[in-house]
Structure 1
């Protein structure tokens, strides 16, 4: 699909961009062809290649028209923004600045509280969620209990059980007096 946007100085009549070579779009002033075969698609029939080409050409014309309108309206929007900014009083500008500084202050205070709770709880600050120190502390407690529970479950599942062999002294306890083989070998 060819792009109809062009650099400065490459405009056609009435200040609109001149179409590129091989571009199938027409100028936005051309009459709009609205018979694109949409009725056939709604009726459940297949669109022919010609219907699809006509629909594509119509979409390209509409897109070109919108690009031209946007290009024409951009300077007007910028002028309106500048006039609005110039029309603001000093008090309105100061109020906007104060609001921005208060938002920044709140964000910094929340960051400091998050770091403090993280240091106290042992949970990383990136994990903690909340809008006040109390919410951060509650979240840290919840996360810590979930982590401890998961670690305990993982350790319980990971500890292999040693086989019990009869006659072995598990746990380092002294041999019992009923160990007849040991007693026989020692000469008792």
Structure 2
């Protein structure tokens, strides 16, 4: 992004743009028929934590439910928690909830920006996850394929918003790597504490 967008007569800062994206995430990803919809998990609690009216940013711990669509049908829902937030990024971590049960993947996804030279910025989303349950693993190509398309829509919509509001953004190539979990687990997964029952 070589020029940030404007709001009225003012140019947004990178921090303001990222916060705008977070508060309006559904405008920056494809929804139905083949995308997702994000909403507070427990409206009476999570709305105030995710989109506080009188505060500039959200609270860690806000839980967001994601409806996942295919051909207009909500095939699955999964929950994430806002596990970290700062001026230059936020992180969603998947979790199990009574209403959504398990998310199809288990992991973390970060949204943020990094400054480059001469006032340029790279806005990004990046994640590390693997399928959660046996059925999810059996449908791994479908699960990760749909997720990849969702994050490509994020790139397109963010660039479209910037370019449509007086800024200048280009889309860089997305990268994605799949690793065999049993191999990764054998080599790198050596927890020093037991899992919580």
TM-score with structure 1 setting the length: 0.21
Higher helix share: 1
**RCO higher in 1 or 2 (8 Å CA, sep ≥ 6)?**
2
Q: Larger strand proportion, structure 1 or 2?
A: 2
Q: TM-score, normalised by structure 2?
A: 0.21
